Chain A
Protein backbone atom coordinates (compact mmCIF):
# COMPACT_ATOMS: atom_id res chain seq x y z
CA UNK A 1 0.00 0.00 0.00
CA UNK A 2 1.22 3.48 -0.84
CA UNK A 3 0.40 6.22 1.60
CA UNK A 4 0.64 9.93 0.82
CA UNK A 5 -0.15 12.85 3.16
CA UNK A 6 -0.79 16.30 1.69
CA UNK A 7 -1.35 19.44 3.78
CA UNK A 8 -3.97 21.66 2.21
CA UNK A 9 -4.54 25.35 2.93
CA UNK A 10 -7.06 25.77 5.69
CA UNK A 11 -5.38 23.22 7.96
CA UNK A 12 -6.71 20.08 6.36
CA UNK A 13 -4.53 17.03 5.92
CA UNK A 14 -5.46 14.67 3.14
CA UNK A 15 -4.20 11.12 3.61
CA UNK A 16 -4.41 9.04 0.43
CA UNK A 17 -4.30 5.26 0.63
CA UNK A 18 -3.39 3.42 -2.55
CA UNK A 19 -3.78 -0.34 -2.07
CA UNK A 20 -5.23 -2.52 0.66
CA UNK A 21 -6.05 -1.28 4.13
CA UNK A 22 -5.91 -4.46 6.21
CA UNK A 23 -4.11 -6.04 9.20
CA UNK A 24 -0.81 -5.68 7.37
CA UNK A 25 -1.12 -1.92 6.77
CA UNK A 26 -3.46 -0.72 9.56
CA UNK A 27 -0.65 0.36 11.88
CA UNK A 28 0.93 2.59 9.22
CA UNK A 29 -2.38 4.29 8.56
CA UNK A 30 -2.86 4.95 12.26
CA UNK A 31 0.59 6.51 12.42
CA UNK A 32 -0.09 8.74 9.42
CA UNK A 33 -3.35 10.02 10.89
CA UNK A 34 -1.70 10.57 14.26
CA UNK A 35 1.10 12.54 12.63
CA UNK A 36 -1.37 14.69 10.68
CA UNK A 37 -3.26 15.58 13.83
CA UNK A 38 -0.12 16.32 15.83
CA UNK A 39 1.79 18.17 13.12
CA UNK A 40 -0.90 20.02 11.25
CA UNK A 41 -4.50 20.20 12.37
CA UNK A 42 -7.15 17.78 13.66
CA UNK A 43 -9.13 17.96 10.40
CA UNK A 44 -8.28 14.86 8.38
CA UNK A 45 -9.62 13.68 5.04
CA UNK A 46 -8.87 10.10 4.10
CA UNK A 47 -8.88 9.66 0.34
CA UNK A 48 -10.12 6.11 -0.36
CA UNK A 49 -10.53 6.46 -4.13
CA UNK A 50 -7.63 4.06 -4.69
CA UNK A 51 -8.18 1.82 -1.69
CA UNK A 52 -8.92 -1.53 -3.26
CA UNK A 53 -9.77 -3.30 -0.05
CA UNK A 54 -10.79 -2.54 3.51
CA UNK A 55 -11.15 -5.15 6.24
CA UNK A 56 -12.14 -4.96 9.90
CA UNK A 57 -8.56 -4.20 11.05
CA UNK A 58 -8.36 -1.35 8.55
CA UNK A 59 -11.76 -0.14 9.67
CA UNK A 60 -10.45 -0.26 13.27
CA UNK A 61 -7.62 2.08 12.25
CA UNK A 62 -10.11 4.54 10.74
CA UNK A 63 -12.26 4.43 13.91
CA UNK A 64 -9.13 5.05 15.97
CA UNK A 65 -8.29 8.05 13.73
CA UNK A 66 -11.83 9.36 13.97
CA UNK A 67 -11.71 9.29 17.78
CA UNK A 68 -8.25 10.91 17.88
CA UNK A 69 -9.39 13.72 15.54
CA UNK A 70 -12.56 14.34 17.51
CA UNK A 71 -10.65 14.45 20.79
CA UNK A 72 -8.33 17.05 19.27
CA UNK A 73 -11.33 19.14 18.28
CA UNK A 74 -11.42 18.15 14.62
CA UNK A 75 -12.94 15.50 12.42
CA UNK A 76 -12.07 12.59 10.13
CA UNK A 77 -14.02 12.31 6.88
CA UNK A 78 -13.78 9.87 4.01
CA UNK A 79 -13.40 10.88 0.38
CA UNK A 80 -14.60 8.79 -2.61
CA UNK A 81 -14.61 5.29 -1.12
CA UNK A 82 -14.49 2.41 -3.61
CA UNK A 83 -17.30 -0.14 -3.91
CA UNK A 84 -15.71 -2.65 -1.56
CA UNK A 85 -15.04 0.01 1.07
CA UNK A 86 -18.66 1.15 0.79
CA UNK A 87 -19.79 -2.43 1.23
CA UNK A 88 -17.84 -2.75 4.48
CA UNK A 89 -19.01 0.62 5.84
CA UNK A 90 -22.56 -0.33 4.98
CA UNK A 91 -22.41 -3.81 6.56
CA UNK A 92 -20.92 -2.51 9.78
CA UNK A 93 -23.35 0.44 10.03
CA UNK A 94 -20.40 2.82 10.18
CA UNK A 95 -21.80 5.15 7.48
CA UNK A 96 -23.20 7.65 9.94
CA UNK A 97 -19.99 7.79 11.99
CA UNK A 98 -17.41 7.70 9.24
CA UNK A 99 -19.08 9.94 6.70
CA UNK A 100 -18.19 9.71 3.03
CA UNK A 101 -18.00 12.54 0.49
CA UNK A 102 -17.43 12.62 -3.24
CA UNK A 103 -14.52 15.08 -3.08
CA UNK A 104 -12.21 16.87 -0.66
CA UNK A 105 -14.11 20.12 -1.28
CA UNK A 106 -17.36 18.49 -0.30
CA UNK A 107 -15.82 16.92 2.78
CA UNK A 108 -14.41 20.22 4.02
CA UNK A 109 -16.16 23.10 2.13
CA UNK A 110 -13.96 26.18 1.96
CA UNK A 111 -15.23 29.44 2.87
Chain B
Protein backbone atom coordinates (compact mmCIF):
# COMPACT_ATOMS: atom_id res chain seq x y z
CA UNK B 1 0.00 0.00 0.00
CA UNK B 2 1.36 3.44 -0.84
CA UNK B 3 1.79 6.01 1.92
CA UNK B 4 -1.08 8.09 0.51
CA UNK B 5 -3.46 5.12 0.47
CA UNK B 6 -2.38 4.15 3.98
CA UNK B 7 -3.07 7.69 5.19
CA UNK B 8 -6.60 7.74 3.76
CA UNK B 9 -7.44 4.24 4.92
CA UNK B 10 -6.56 5.08 8.55
CA UNK B 11 -8.42 8.39 8.32
CA UNK B 12 -11.57 6.89 6.80
CA UNK B 13 -11.59 3.95 9.22
CA UNK B 14 -11.20 6.00 12.40
CA UNK B 15 -13.19 9.16 11.61
CA UNK B 16 -16.77 7.82 12.01
CA UNK B 17 -15.88 6.19 15.33
CA UNK B 18 -14.21 9.36 16.65
CA UNK B 19 -17.20 11.46 15.55
CA UNK B 20 -19.50 9.19 17.57
CA UNK B 21 -17.14 9.60 20.55
CA UNK B 22 -17.27 13.38 20.00
CA UNK B 23 -21.08 13.28 20.17
CA UNK B 24 -20.91 11.35 23.45
CA UNK B 25 -18.29 13.78 24.77
CA UNK B 26 -20.41 16.84 23.96
CA UNK B 27 -23.44 15.25 25.63
CA UNK B 28 -21.32 14.52 28.72
CA UNK B 29 -20.14 18.14 28.54
CA UNK B 30 -23.73 19.41 28.81
CA UNK B 31 -24.21 17.27 31.94
CA UNK B 32 -20.86 18.47 33.33
CA UNK B 33 -21.86 22.10 32.78
CA UNK B 34 -24.95 21.41 34.90
CA UNK B 35 -22.69 20.25 37.72
CA UNK B 36 -20.60 23.42 37.94
CA UNK B 37 -22.91 24.79 40.64
CA UNK B 38 -22.58 21.64 42.77
CA UNK B 39 -18.82 22.06 43.22
CA UNK B 40 -19.35 24.60 45.96
CA UNK B 41 -21.55 22.15 47.86
CA UNK B 42 -19.06 19.28 47.35
CA UNK B 43 -15.51 20.63 46.94
CA UNK B 44 -13.43 17.90 45.32
CA UNK B 45 -16.19 16.92 42.88
CA UNK B 46 -14.27 18.24 39.87
CA UNK B 47 -11.15 16.33 40.92
CA UNK B 48 -13.11 13.10 40.72
CA UNK B 49 -14.72 13.69 37.30
CA UNK B 50 -11.70 13.11 34.99
CA UNK B 51 -10.48 10.25 37.17
CA UNK B 52 -13.92 8.62 37.18
CA UNK B 53 -14.27 8.97 33.39
CA UNK B 54 -10.74 7.66 32.72
CA UNK B 55 -11.31 4.69 35.02
CA UNK B 56 -14.46 3.66 33.12
CA UNK B 57 -12.26 3.33 30.02
CA UNK B 58 -9.59 1.37 31.89
CA UNK B 59 -11.90 -1.18 33.54
CA UNK B 60 -14.40 -1.78 30.76
CA UNK B 61 -11.85 -1.38 27.97
CA UNK B 62 -9.99 -4.28 29.58
CA UNK B 63 -13.21 -6.32 29.82
CA UNK B 64 -14.01 -5.58 26.19
CA UNK B 65 -10.51 -6.56 25.08
CA UNK B 66 -10.71 -9.80 27.06
CA UNK B 67 -14.16 -10.70 25.70
CA UNK B 68 -13.21 -9.95 22.11
CA UNK B 69 -10.04 -12.04 22.28
CA UNK B 70 -12.05 -14.79 24.03
CA UNK B 71 -14.51 -14.75 21.12
CA UNK B 72 -11.67 -14.82 18.56
CA UNK B 73 -10.07 -17.79 20.31
CA UNK B 74 -13.40 -19.61 20.67
CA UNK B 75 -13.05 -19.67 24.47
CA UNK B 76 -16.46 -18.13 25.01
CA UNK B 77 -19.73 -18.01 23.08
CA UNK B 78 -21.39 -14.74 22.03
CA UNK B 79 -24.42 -15.33 24.30
CA UNK B 80 -25.37 -14.50 27.90
CA UNK B 81 -24.92 -17.97 29.44
CA UNK B 82 -23.54 -19.29 32.73
CA UNK B 83 -20.10 -19.91 31.28
CA UNK B 84 -17.45 -19.88 34.00
CA UNK B 85 -15.03 -17.69 32.03
CA UNK B 86 -17.71 -15.16 31.15
CA UNK B 87 -19.03 -15.09 34.73
CA UNK B 88 -15.49 -14.59 36.09
CA UNK B 89 -14.73 -11.79 33.63
CA UNK B 90 -18.00 -10.03 34.49
CA UNK B 91 -17.55 -10.50 38.27
CA UNK B 92 -13.96 -9.21 38.09
CA UNK B 93 -15.14 -6.08 36.24
CA UNK B 94 -17.77 -5.42 38.90
CA UNK B 95 -15.16 -5.80 41.66
CA UNK B 96 -12.59 -3.66 39.82
CA UNK B 97 -15.09 -1.00 38.70
CA UNK B 98 -16.82 -0.56 42.06
CA UNK B 99 -13.62 -1.02 44.12
CA UNK B 100 -11.71 1.61 42.14
CA UNK B 101 -14.63 4.06 42.44
CA UNK B 102 -14.27 3.95 46.23
CA UNK B 103 -10.49 4.38 45.85
CA UNK B 104 -11.10 7.52 43.73
CA UNK B 105 -13.20 9.07 46.52
CA UNK B 106 -10.54 8.33 49.14
CA UNK B 107 -7.59 9.46 46.96
CA UNK B 108 -9.34 12.73 46.06
CA UNK B 109 -10.06 13.45 49.72
CA UNK B 110 -6.45 12.70 50.70
CA UNK B 111 -4.96 14.75 47.83
CA UNK B 112 -7.01 17.85 48.69
CA UNK B 113 -6.20 17.43 52.38
CA UNK B 114 -2.48 17.34 51.56
CA UNK B 115 -2.84 20.39 49.27
CA UNK B 116 -4.68 22.17 52.06
CA UNK B 117 -7.67 22.90 49.77
CA UNK B 118 -11.29 22.92 50.82
CA UNK B 119 -12.80 19.43 50.55
CA UNK B 120 -16.19 17.78 51.20
CA UNK B 121 -16.59 15.09 53.86
CA UNK B 122 -14.91 11.78 53.03
CA UNK B 123 -18.19 9.86 53.28
CA UNK B 124 -19.87 12.28 50.85
CA UNK B 125 -17.21 11.83 48.16
CA UNK B 126 -17.12 8.05 48.66
CA UNK B 127 -20.93 7.84 48.59
CA UNK B 128 -21.11 9.79 45.29
CA UNK B 129 -18.45 7.54 43.72
CA UNK B 130 -20.02 4.34 45.07
CA UNK B 131 -23.52 5.12 43.76
CA UNK B 132 -22.22 6.34 40.39
CA UNK B 133 -19.77 3.41 40.20
CA UNK B 134 -22.38 0.70 40.84
CA UNK B 135 -24.92 2.12 38.38
CA UNK B 136 -22.33 2.73 35.66
CA UNK B 137 -20.91 -0.79 36.09
CA UNK B 138 -24.29 -2.42 35.51
CA UNK B 139 -25.09 -0.42 32.36
CA UNK B 140 -21.57 -0.56 30.92
CA UNK B 141 -20.92 -4.26 31.50
CA UNK B 142 -24.23 -5.48 30.08
CA UNK B 143 -24.39 -2.82 27.38
CA UNK B 144 -20.84 -3.57 26.26
CA UNK B 145 -21.41 -7.34 26.19
CA UNK B 146 -24.69 -6.98 24.28
CA UNK B 147 -23.07 -4.70 21.67
CA UNK B 148 -19.93 -6.87 21.29
CA UNK B 149 -22.01 -10.05 20.96
CA UNK B 150 -24.35 -8.45 18.41
CA UNK B 151 -21.37 -7.03 16.51
CA UNK B 152 -19.55 -10.36 16.52
CA UNK B 153 -22.60 -12.27 15.27
CA UNK B 154 -23.09 -9.84 12.39
CA UNK B 155 -19.45 -10.16 11.36
CA UNK B 156 -17.81 -7.03 12.80
CA UNK B 157 -14.36 -7.39 14.31
CA UNK B 158 -14.96 -6.75 18.02
CA UNK B 159 -11.43 -5.32 18.38
CA UNK B 160 -12.44 -2.24 16.42
CA UNK B 161 -15.64 -1.77 18.40
CA UNK B 162 -14.45 -1.92 21.99
CA UNK B 163 -12.54 1.36 22.42
CA UNK B 164 -15.12 3.74 20.98
CA UNK B 165 -18.09 1.92 22.56
CA UNK B 166 -16.47 2.14 25.99
CA UNK B 167 -15.50 5.82 25.63
CA UNK B 168 -18.91 6.87 24.38
CA UNK B 169 -21.05 4.82 26.80
CA UNK B 170 -18.65 5.66 29.65
CA UNK B 171 -18.87 9.42 29.04
CA UNK B 172 -22.65 9.48 28.70
CA UNK B 173 -23.66 7.11 31.51
CA UNK B 174 -20.72 8.01 33.77
CA UNK B 175 -21.75 11.68 33.83
CA UNK B 176 -25.50 10.99 34.05
CA UNK B 177 -25.08 8.62 37.00
CA UNK B 178 -22.67 11.05 38.69
CA UNK B 179 -25.30 13.78 38.39
CA UNK B 180 -27.87 11.38 39.87
CA UNK B 181 -25.49 10.38 42.69
CA UNK B 182 -24.78 14.04 43.56
CA UNK B 183 -28.52 14.73 43.74
CA UNK B 184 -29.09 11.69 45.95
CA UNK B 185 -26.23 12.48 48.35
CA UNK B 186 -27.35 16.12 48.50
CA UNK B 187 -30.80 14.98 49.67
CA UNK B 188 -29.56 12.28 52.07
CA UNK B 189 -26.52 13.99 53.59
Q: Tell me whether A and B are bound partners.
A: no
User: Which A residues are within 8 Å of any B CB, using their own CB?
Assistant: none
